Amino acid sequence: MDLDRRSAGVLLHVTSLPGPNGLGDFGPAAYGFIDWLASAGQRLWQWLPSTPIGPGDSPYQGVSAFAGSQWMVAFEPLVERGWLAAPTQPDGGFDARRVDYGRVLPWREIQLRAAAQGFSSHATAGERAAYADWCAQQAHWLPDYALFMAIRSPRGGQPWWDWPAELKRREPAAIARVRADCAAEIEFWQFVQWCFAWQCEALRAHARASDVAIVGDLPIFVAHDSADCWARPDLYFLDDDFLCTVVAGVPPDELGPDGQRWGNPLYRWDRMADEGFAWWTARVKRALDSADIVRIDHFRGFAGYYEIPASSPTAKEGRWVPAPGMALFAAIARELGPLPIIAEDLGLITPDVIELREAYDYPGMKILQFAFNGDGNHEFLPHAYPRRTIVYTGTHDNETVRGWWAGASGRERRFAGLYLDADESNVHWKMMQAACNSVAAMALYPMQDVLGLDGSHRMNRPGHGEGNWAWRFDWTMVDAGLASRLGALAATSGRGPFVLPQ
């Protein structure tokens, strides 16, 4: 994938797509959205992580770094193959503009289990062979993930370090017993992963045919309660009871006096290096099975990461520790070749982070909302960008542009108004126009900004554990002329097909 190709696109998580089944998935709405992007001259569609969600419904705290989210599996293809009867929604249906995870996920799991039964009863020989071949290709992670889920699910999501000792310590006799006793449950979780894989690939093929590239998202850390940690606890800083001794986060800054204590376990980089960073190479390869380009979240953590004692309730007591980013990306590149990676290089960026990013020629990120709290020399102002940059109006963690304007200081609004020739009514379009007209190789904007929505529509509020990741749009929110207007921005800035209006 050419990261220097001048292009524009939209940030919209798959679960935010329209559809009747409670949240967005790889079904018809995803294909329709790609068609709409192409009609609007957009060449990029960025997702949040497509791995299974974790606590707080967050895609950044998933139970596996390798699995796909079972909730993104669409039902329509399963119905077409004869494995599933057309689902009937509960009384009242589902909210078209919010995901009610408590109602939606149990209902969707019932449909997936019915489809697994249908596959077992009705699959053709070719389908069974395709499933078996795919499982064999994924043998480096799939059996551990499916076993983890088979143990975890009947325990109501109990964290693995609280499981019986023989299971949390993976004693061979206990593991063999579970594999025998829970064979059907293990098979179910493998089947769902296969469905995710072939549906994702079919969607990507449609995107490629429409000249739309999928931009994925890879969190730097994994969740403590994950199949990865359970399968290889030796690769993390855990004590004899498998509890974290230190955790990830970021120090206090202008966003908060206590910093951010994320709670993820930290890697034993020395042990990963002893294995030639094989786990990371496999992880990046797997991420590129689902996307054309991968944005790596918290890239600065590969140069140096913030280590917080697990006993500390805040991030005040942490320290910076060097990380082997140079050796890591060299090892991955030796195995996989040049990598289509975007480095999320926001926050406290020190010279070693810049050196690491530039050593591998990964483009970094600029956020337009952050550009107006200084003066005309701010690095996030469009006239200051290097060409190999990805500019965003905002990300999933930010306010919408309209929400940002409403909450900005008077000085920021005056500065932005002068720089963008903008006011409250059009600031979202003016920011998108500035992003498109910049020299940055790629310009991306959340769908909320394309629709001109206020802050009540934002995707995530960092530091708030509930109520996030639930936003959805429906097509009644999209004006008939929106694609043409968005296409004009792309066309006149060299990011899309140029067609002069009649």
Counting Cα atoms < 13 Å in the Cβ hemisphere of 288 gives 16
Label residues 461-474 b or e (16+ Cβ within 10 Å = b). eeeeeeebbbbbbe
CB atoms within 10 A of CB 195: 26
Label residues 140-151 b or e (16+ Cβ within 10 Å = b). ebbbbbbbbbbb
Asked if 272 and 235 touch (Cβ cutoff 8 Å), the reply is: yes
Which secondary-structure segment (H or E) carries 359? helix 351-359
Residues 232 and 474: their CA atoms lie apart, in Å, by 42
* 139 phi/psi in degrees, rounded to 5: -65, -15
CA nearest neighbour of 470 among 97, 91, 80, 130: 97
Which secondary-structure segment (H or E) carries 341? strand 341-343
Label residues 230-252 b or e (16+ Cβ within 10 Å = b). bbebebbebeeebebebbbbbbe
CA angle 295, 459, 478 (to 5 degrees): 100
CB atoms within 10 A of CB 282: 17
Residues 488 and 119: their CA atoms lie apart, in Å, by 46
Sign, CA torsion 429/430/436/442:
negative
The DSSP output letter for 214 is E
**What residues are annotated to the active site?**
297, 344, 397
Asked if 391 and 366 touch (Cβ cutoff 8 Å), the reply is: yes
Please state whether beta strands 341-343 and 213-218 pair in parallel, antiparallel, or not at all (unpaired): unpaired
Token pair 């023989």 is found at 166
In the sheet that 319-322 helps form, which strands lie side by side, from edge to edge?
260-265, 246-250, 304-309, 319-322
Assign 397 to helix, strand or coil: coil
CA nearest neighbour of 279 among 140, 135, 138: 140
The token pair at 8 is 């524009």
Q: In 210-277, which ranges are continuous DSSP H helix?
A: 227-231, 269-274
The count of residues in the chain is 502
CA nearest neighbour of 11 among 404, 406, 440, 451: 451
